[in-house]
Structure 1
Amino acid sequence: MLYGIAAATTALLLSAVLTALVRGPALHLGLLDRRRQRPLPLGGGVAVVLVTCLVGAAGDWTGVAPLGSGIPRLLVAAAAVAALGLVADVRRVKARFLVGGTAVAAACAVPYEETGVLGGLAAAGWIVGVTLAFRALDHADAVAGTVGVVTAFGVGVCAAAEVMDGLAVLLSVLAAALTGFLMHNWHPARVGLGACGSLFAGFLLASAAVLTRAGYEAGTGAGVLFALTAVASADVVLVVLARRLGGRPLLRGGPDHLAHRLRRLGLTPRGATVVLGAGAFGGVLMGVLVHLGWVARSGVLWVAAGALIAVLLLLKVKRPVARPTATVQVRPQLRVRNG
């Protein structure tokens, strides 16, 4: 317990300092996120990954907080996904390579001895989906980080309930590292998370959730997993529906996400982040209560219903219409001569 508090505190401080330090090199190297209205230097994800891996590995190496069986393999797989994300931050990478690399890492992280082959393959597919969903959440200041912190605490509680102390400590370290990063990413952000950090956080959270639910009944397990990641899942569903109904390519960027639509309803950037964080907290809380057996299994259905209602309501919020470029017509001046 004491080591967990010390590790989280260390991770928070290191992440805050390292995130500030990487901003300059990111600007110098041109490592920028150009999807936003202003180019945003990336590198915050590198700080989160390094701090989480180093603090977690230090506890395991010293024997003070052993990660436990299968957790080192999970951390290595998450680091590999982060490396793939860093490549995507530096240069354009086709989506199939991101999906394929994440799928290989997910296949290595699933505990097949508890899930079975078919269940393990389904779990690996779910991990890939959540990982890419967290990547998609990184479209606005502080959204991915805030949702990641809330989710990490929830999955950490589930891990502690299963006496997975090493995993619980690792998740608390991740939450602290993301909190340190958020000190620089709250609107207006000075540093971005990037694919490196968002893929790492999404992969680690999804894989940890699978480990905590391995061995439970499949139907309830799927419901709990959805509740723990309800906001990320709802964002993906909203984007897919909006672009399908609008006849737009799924992989082409656009203001179709939850935060974009909340902004068009009049919320400030910080307000939209708070609303999404509150939504994530509600889903995570219900998932934890169902996992602990304190609430009936039907509780996850309320989360699914709430997410569906939110998606349908926000789907009615129209995209901004691009204004045509105004053309200025110059009329010839008539000169009148006297006489």
Structure 2
Amino acid sequence: MNVLGIIASAVAALFITAVLAKGVHRTVLRSRPAPEGPGRGPRARKLRKLGGAALALGTGAVVAAAWALGPDGSAGTVGALLAGAGTVAALGLVHDLRPLPFALRLTVQAAAATLVAHLAGLSPAAALPAVLWIVLVTNAFALLDNSDGLLPAVAVVTAGGLFTCAAVDGRLVLGLFPAALAAGSVGLLLHSWHPARVHLGSTGALFTGFALASCGALIQFHAPQGRTAWAALPLLATVALADSALVLISRRRAGRPLVRGGGDHIAHRLRRLRVTVPGAAVVMVLWALVPVLAATLVYAGTLHPAFLLAVPLASGAAVAALLRVPVYAAAPRGAAARGTASRPTAFPPAARTAPGSAVPLGTATANPTVPPPTGRPSAGITADRR
């Protein structure tokens, strides 16, 4: 595998993913109109989630083709990544069609991570922390799929950092998957940027998160002894981990279920601060860019590892500040006594129904939304669907 092969693979991944996503969009437009309006019924909403399948197919096909055409002893790493990422993509597709229990999804992810560690030749001592890390980061990145274009945009930055670290070591084989994933995410962004015409769904979200986490684990395992990979590479997941920490802390404080979706992610809180949907994605990308640049510079040996301490400190301060942004409305007075509301909700009582609609925004919808401070429904901001 050489630089020209990487470039060709990236271009192919971008083109294939963009074409497939365009096909998904056309299928949505041809879907049977529902009472909610053309392209907005339950069937159309499921079809929109096939954008994630387009990303998985486009990226996976290109990586598999490059692996087959370049027999250079990369069977262990590339084959492991394809097997694991394909497994979680299939899991996500089933979950998009029929929701699966969280415990089952977590078990399949752990099995896929174990498969990656085994096929890549990791020792038992290295396999256990790698599996735990892959499962943690997979879900952290997957939870970022809560706003138009957010996860693909962050994935481009993160995958670029992974590719740079692999290239610094001269291991372009390990950089093949990140390069193809970054290009494929750009191709999907052409259709998932606000207002999104297709969505990642669980298929694309889990595929993206698992690929990023697995590539990081394998790059760290194969890093030379002189590299500070143990300190640099984990920072590539700073934004995803910060978002998950924010959600878990706020839900714990509010007494809400930890694994149930809600409008309390970073993007939702930025929306409360009157940041637009595209603006929230840009803010998150810039946030991700800082730790990625710091990590790659430290990994390359051009920046002292002590500078890495500033990244978690700054991110922790940002999480603490965002915790002060209200996202859960208190129950109306007397509601607890009447037994009509026992838990706080992420939807203010005055804005629980969209104008002209009798369907509550916080109930029984496939993609519940968090209204902005003006009370108008916010297009493009969707609550966590996992």
Where structure 1 has 5 or more consecutive residues not aligned to the other structure, the ranges are 327-339
- Aligned equivalents of 2:206 and 2:187: distance in 1? 18
Kindly provide the amino acid, as one letter, of the partner of residue 6 in structure 1: A
Q: Does 1:323 align with 2:311?
A: no
Amino acid of the structure 1 residue aligned with 2:267: A
Deviation for aligned residue 1:247: 0.8
Name 2:176's counterpart in structure 1.
169
TM-score (norm 1): 0.87
The separation in 1 between residues aligned to 2:114 and 2:306, in whole angstroms, is: 30
- Partner SS state of residue 248, structure 1: coil
CA distance in structure 1 between the partners assigned to 2:76 and 2:175 by the alignment: 13
SS where residue 141 of structure 2 aligns? helix
Report if the CA contact (8 A) 1:56-1:67 is conserved.
Answer: no
Q: Name the counterpart of 1:3.
A: 5
Q: Which moved more, 1:137-146 or 1:219-228?
A: 219-228
Structure 2 counterpart SS, 1:192: coil
Contact 2:28 2:47 in 1 (8 A): no
- Residue 246, structure 1, aligned to residue 248, structure 2: no
What is the CA distance between 1:72 and its match in structure 2? 1.0
Unaligned runs of 5+ in 2: 330-347, 353-386
How far apart, in 1, do the equivalents of 2:121 and 2:299 lie?
A: 17
Indicate how the Cα distance of structure 1 residues 163 and 195 shifts in structure 2: closer, same or farther if over 3 A, else same.
same
> How does 1:126-275 map onto structure 2 within 5 Å?
126-214=133-221, 220-275=228-283
SS at match of 2:281: helix
Residue type of the alignment partner of 1:8: A
**Conserved? CA contact 1:226–1:233, under 8 Å:** no
RMSD of aligned alpha carbons:
2.8
Between the aligned partners of 2:46 and 2:149, the Cα distance in structure 1 is 16
Cα distance, 1:66 vs. partner?
6.9
How far 1:167 moved relative to its partner? 2.2
Once the two structures are superposed, what CA deviation does each residue of 1:109-161 show, in whole Å capped at 9, x if it has no partner?
12699864343211211110111111110011111101111000100111112
Whichever residue aligns with residue 10 of structure 2, its letter is A
Alignment of structure 1 residues 76-95 onto 2, 5 Å = 76-95=83-102
Q: Displacement, 1:89?
A: 0.6
State which of 15, 18, 21 in structure 1 corresponds to 2:20.
18
Q: 1:188 to 1:65 in 2, by over 3 A?
A: farther
Residues 313 and 76 from structure 1, CA distance in 2 versus in 1: closer, same or farther, beyond 3 angstroms?
Answer: same
Match of 1:335 in 2: none
- Using the alignment, how far apart are the partners of 2:315 and 2:123 within structure 1? 30
Separation in structure 1 between the aligned mates of residue 115 and residue 151 of structure 2, nearest angstrom: 25
Moved more, 307-316 or 40-49: 40-49
Provide, for residues 54-93 of structure 1, a one-character-per-residue CA deviation record: whole Å limited to 9, x for no partner: 1111112122787453221221111111100111111111
- Mapped to 2, the partners of 1:63 and 1:113 lie a distance apart of 17
CA distance in 1, matches of 2:73, 2:207: 21
Partner-residue secondary structure (3-state), 1:294: coil
Q: Aligned partners of 1:228, 1:41: CA distance in 2, in Å? A: 29
> Map of 1:277-292 to 2, 5 A cutoff?
277-292=285-300
Aligned residue type for 1:61: A
Amino acid of the structure 2 residue aligned with 1:203: F
Measured against aligned partners, the alpha-carbon deviations of 1:173-218 in whole angstroms (never above 9, x if no partner) come to 111111000000001101000111111111111111111111567x
**Is structure 2 residue 94 aligned with structure 1 residue 96?**
no
Amino acid at match of 1:315: L
Report what 1:336 is aligned to: none
Q: TM-score, normalised by structure 2?
A: 0.77
Larger radius of gyration: 1
- Corresponding residue of 2:372: none
Amino acid at match of 2:231: G
